[in-house]
Amino acid sequence: MRPSPAQILSFVGGYVDTVGFLALQGLFTAHVTGNFVTFGAAMVHGATGAWAKLLALPVFCVAVLATRLAGRRLEETGRPVLRLLLLTQCAFLALGTVLAIALGPFTDADRPAALLTGMVLVVAMAVQNAAHRAHLPEAPPSTLMTGTTTQIMIDLADLLRGVPAEHAARRRIARMSAAVAAFALGCGLAALFFYLVGAAAIAVAPVLILVAALDSGPARAA
């Protein structure tokens, strides 16, 4: 049984966040919450990368806004929205890979080369976040596992107590557990590949997103 596009997105979420964190001195590319924490830590400890973490939020927001507007426009023209958005993400991930290989390694995340590479990857993951939220609404989040893990534990508690709607809870646990497992696997393999080949490890991500884009028809989207 091959993974669904949503499961591939979860894997890529963990993968790109981990490679980005390792290659760009602690920059989270897939979600903004971690950058608030690491920005505060950089301010206290005087570490590099503060500007990259600060810039990531507005770049992420603008990219999500643009993705939503583009998605609406594509819907109006009857085009395959999810596929085209994932292909857009693939292009940004491929560009980020080229930049990481050509300009890295990065010892200071606030240098122009590192900032450019980091923000390209932030845009790529913002596209994924927006596309997933708008066009795979039934699938668990692909870049942040806190809420998903919480829901799994809530459902497990309800099953232990024999709360009604047991079938729905079991199905939700299965879907969400697959997302968490895919994300965790992405994190682990990203660390391994980064150890082996450095920032070139990012090259795995655009290939997987291309697979997800080509397999994102209605029958496989969930």
Q: Which DSSP state fits 221?
A: -
Single-letter amino acid code for the residue at 101? I
| Among the listed residues 35, 19, 27, 26, the one whose alpha carbon sits nearest the alpha carbon of residue 100 | 19
pLDDT tens profile 124-146: 999 999 999 999 988 888 888 88
Q: Is the peptide bond before 80 cis (omega within 30 degrees of 0)?
A: no
CA distances from 36 to 32, 54, 149 (A): 7, 8, 21
Indicate the angle between helix axes 204-214 and 5-23, nearest 10 degrees.
160
Best CA proximity match to 37, nearest among 20, 19, 54? 54
pLDDT value of position 16: 96
Answer yes or no: are the C-beta atoms of 206 and 93 closer than 8 Å.
Answer: yes
| DSSP designation for 140 | P
Query: What are the residue boundaries of the structural domains of the chain, listed by start?
Result: 5-214
The answer to whether 118 and 52 have CB atoms below 8 angstroms apart is yes
Q: What is the pLDDT of residue 112?
A: 94
pLDDT tens track of the chain, all 222 residues? 688 889 999 999 999 999 999 999 888 898 777 776 766 666 665 566 678 888 999 999 999 999 999 999 999 998 999 999 999 999 999 999 999 999 989 988 889 999 999 999 999 999 999 999 999 988 888 888 888 899 899 989 888 887 776 677 888 899 999 999 999 999 999 999 999 999 999 999 999 999 999 988 654 444
Nearest to 132 by CA among 10, 2, 1, 220: 10
What's the rounded Cα separation, in Å, for the pair 117 and 139? 29
Distance CA 153, CA 70 (A): 36
Q: What pLDDT is recorded for position 21?
A: 92
Q: Note whether 179 and 136 are within 8 A (CB).
A: no
Q: Are 81 and 74 in contact (CB under 8 A)?
A: yes
Regarding pTM above 0.85, the answer is yes
The pair of structure tokens assigned to 162 is 């024999």
Sign of the CA dihedral with 74 first, then 79, 82, and 85 last: negative
Residue with tokens 């080229």: 98
CB atoms within 10 A of CB 158: 16
- The fold of the 5-214 domain, in CATH, is Growth Hormone; Chain: A; (1.20.1250)
Predicted pLDDT at 44: 67
Q: At what angle do helices 204-214 and 81-103 cross, to 10 degrees?
A: 170
